[in-house]
Amino acid sequence: MCFSPEASFAGGVIISAIGIATITKVHKPSQLVFASIPLFFGIQQIAEGFLWMTLPGNDYIITQKISTYTFLIMAQVIWPSLIPVSITLMEENNKRKKILWILSGTGLFLSLYYAFCLLTFSVNPEISGYHILYTNSFPKSLSNPAFAVYLFVTITPLFISGIKKNLADGYPYDTVVSCNCNIFQAVSHICMVLFCGSDKRCYLLDTSGFKKGIPHN
């Protein structure tokens, strides 16, 4: 996501610190997973910082592999499950909670799919301008559907949940507000994660839309 190792490390440390501070403000066990999102995201950014330092070249191939898979496991395996589950655990409205559990189950299924892909297919990180592109050989036919499901399960729960309404029903104001700010920040950044098809092209999603990456030769 970040454009340099310095930016990745700085962002990772700051976001991790926010995550730790947020966790200390949790007053209910149901808020713990939600509050831990910034900490996980900070770890993801630190991993990418190490990856920046090992590219290009293969002099530190072990560190490069560990950093690559740490980043991608967080981005493609952890987030599709963690985000909907974290919101579901805090939801108190039964009707909303049933819908959120369905989204959580869908996210878990997607996480398993990406875990299978990471174990089965190759992934190659490379620096392209001010970004790291993660080219892979995931099934092309499932690339766009998986991408759509990813966005659906990580963003939709934020609009279905009645968490904001719960501010008036007894949730500690500082905890919930800080958590909401952090999760929207996390979602906005993880939506920039690479999704690559078997045609060797990578795609980034940012607030301005899709930007096609450089084909991997």
pLDDT tens, residue by residue, 13-67: 888 888 888 888 888 888 888 888 888 888 888 888 888 888 877 777 888 889 8
Say if 87 falls within a structural domain.
yes
Parent domain of 64? 5-125+142-212
Residue 133 placed within a domain: no
| 153 part of a folded domain | yes
What are the Cα distances from residue 25, in Å, to 22, 41, 99, 177, 179?
5, 18, 28, 11, 10
Overall pTM > 0.75 = no
DSSP E strand boundaries for 11-157:
123-128, 131-136
Rounded to an integer, what distance in angstroms lies between the CA atom of residue 22 and that of residue 4? 27
In a domain, 166, yes or no: yes
Q: For residues 167-187, give the mean pLDDT.
A: 43
pLDDT tens by residue, 61-78: 888 889 889 999 998 999
pLDDT score, position 183: 47
Q: Within a domain: residue 131?
A: no
Mean confidence (pLDDT) of the chain? 75
Question: What pLDDT is recorded for position 107?
Answer: 95
pLDDT at residue 3, rounded to an integer: 65
Would 134 be classed as within a structural domain? no
**What is residue 2's predicted lDDT score, i.e. its pLDDT?**
56
- 202: in domain: yes
Lowest mean pLDDT among 33-42, 78-87, 96-105, 206-215: 206-215
31 burial level (CB within 10 Å; 0-12, 13-18, 19+) = buried
Domain count, the chain: 1
pLDDT tops 70 at residue 150: yes
The answer to whether position 167 is within a domain reads yes
- The residue that leads in pLDDT, 183 or 54, is 54
| Nearest-angstrom CA–CA distance, 132 and 80 | 21
- What's the pLDDT tens digit per position in 154-167? 988 888 888 765 43
Amino acid 99: pLDDT: 94
Q: Is the pLDDT of residue 184 over 80?
A: no
131: which strand partners? 128
